[in-house]
Structure 1
Amino acid sequence: MCRWIAYSGTPVLLSRVLFQPEHSLIDQSLHSRMGVETTNGDGFGVGWYPQEGADPAVLRDVGPAWNNRNLQEIAHHTRSGLFFGHIRASTGTAVQQSNCHPFRHGRWLWMHNGLISEFRRIRRRLALAVDPERFADIEGSTDSEVMFHLAMTFGLTDDPPGAVARMAGFVETTAQDHGIAHPLQMTIAVSDGRRIWAFRYSSEGRSRSLYVTTRIEALRALHPEVWFLHELSDETRLVVSEPLGGMVGAWNEVPESSYGVIEPGGGTLHDFRPAHAAGRTA
Structure 2
Amino acid sequence: MLEQAVSNLISDDATLSRKQLAMRDRESELLLIACSIVEREGFAQLNMDKLAAASSYSKGTIYNHFNSKEDLFAALAIQALSKKIPLFKSALDFEGSSREKLIAMHAGMHLFSKLSPILAMCALVSRTPAVTEKSAPERLEKLNTLEDLVVSFGDKFIELGQSSGDITLAPGITSDSIVFANWAMAFGTSSLVNNATQSSCVSRQHDTNIVLQNLNFLLDGMRWMPLSCDFDYQKTWDRAEKDLFGEEVALIENQS
In the superposition, the TM-score normalised over structure 1's length comes to: 0.25
User: Comparing both structures, which one devotes a greater share of its residues to helix?
Assistant: 2
Would you tell me which structure has more strand in proportion to its own residues? 1
TM-score normalized by structure 2? Answer: 0.27
**Greater radius of gyration (CA):** 2
